[in-house]
Structure 1
Amino acid sequence: MPKGRIEHVNLTVSDIERSADLFRELLGWQQRWRGMAQRGGETIHVGEADTYLALYTDGKDHAGQQKGKPMNHVGLLVDDLDAAEQMVVAAGLEPFGHDDYEPGRRFYFFDWDGIEFEVVCYG
């Protein structure tokens, strides 16, 4: 039986610099690649060796995208939930939905474009 994992998620955002900076700070990620997108616009890949977020912008304002159309949220695993929450707040974003159930503690936040993220810590 084949095995697999998510290699990347491609997200449309209004400001790729701002979004890339958030994930570099929040998750300790690096910029893996940057360039023009196939059909116009620009993309930054930010992540680790095997996984990343492809942040795409076409120069339009995507603030207030409707949650759940079609994606509900992106889950991010961190080793220090409290420090992660402080970074989210420092970025001017509002954590909510704090909870603690298996497999770990978590909170949620919406980025500037209305994309929801779940931040979870197993430890």
Structure 2
Amino acid sequence: MSEKPASTIDPGVRIGHVHLKVADLERAVPFYRDILGFEETYRRPGAVFMSAGGYHHHIALNTWESRGGQPPAPGTTGLYHIAILYPTRRLLADALRRLIDAGIPLDGASDHGVSEALYLRDFDDNGVELYWDRPREEWPRDESGGIKMKTEPLNLRDLLAELETEVA
């Protein structure tokens, strides 16, 4: 007898890796490797696979259909951004420091109540969100207990101050 599917997706389901079409691997790889700090795990013709912590890959960059191509025009469909989750606020602050040191501009920085996020573009104009989640018990809730997200400016000086505090 087959198991009846659940009405909602199992909470253990996760979104795994992302493949990004890029125009030039030698231009794209330094952004993810040298600036964000991902490690190259595997390379094959037309593709580079990268990870955090030795996983097979979190991000793959490929030119299989896009070598020499242009970013999609505004007003077209496609990927809005990839989101990279940092485990702590301090590590998000370190990512911000890396971006500043590399001269990478931000498109925005927001406090969403449940998370704090930095928004930017990679060298192929792909949207990238770098964020950390606050502990669930700190998430803002409405009167019925539902999540009440917001979008307010993120204080970048306050975020960078995380790097000045001693790690226990």
1:114 alignment partner, SS class = coil
2:123 alignment partner, SS class = coil
> CA 1:113 to 1:107, structure 2 compared with 1: closer, same or farther past 3 Å?
same
CA distance in 2, matches of 1:55, 1:73: 14
Match of 1:45 among 49, 52, 62: 49
Instruction: Give the TM-score of the pair, scaled to structure 2.
Output: 0.58
CA distance in 1, matches of 2:32, 2:17: 14
Match of 1:96 among 107, 126, 144: 107
Structure 2: any 5+ residue segments left out of the alignment? 1-5, 135-168
1:33 alignment partner, SS class = strand
Instruction: Give the TM-score of the pair, scaled to structure 1.
Output: 0.76
From the two aligned structures, give the one with the greater helix fraction. Answer: 2
**Aligned-pair Cα RMSD in Å:** 2.4
- 1:76 matched to 2:84? The reply is yes
Q: Between the two proteins, what is the percent identity of the paired residues?
A: 24
Q: Does the CA-based 8 Å contact 1:66-1:114 persist in structure 2? A: no
CA distance in 1, matches of 2:92, 2:80: 21
> CA 1:34 to 1:51, structure 2 compared with 1: closer, same or farther past 3 Å?
closer
- 1:116 matched to 2:152? The reply is no
Structure 1: any 5+ residue segments left out of the alignment? 37-41
Name 2:137's counterpart in structure 1: none
CA distance in 2, matches of 1:71, 1:29: 21
| Structure number with bigger Rg | 2
Match of 2:18 among 9, 25, 28: 9
C-alpha displacement of 1:25:
3.6
CA distance in 1, matches of 2:130, 2:112: 13
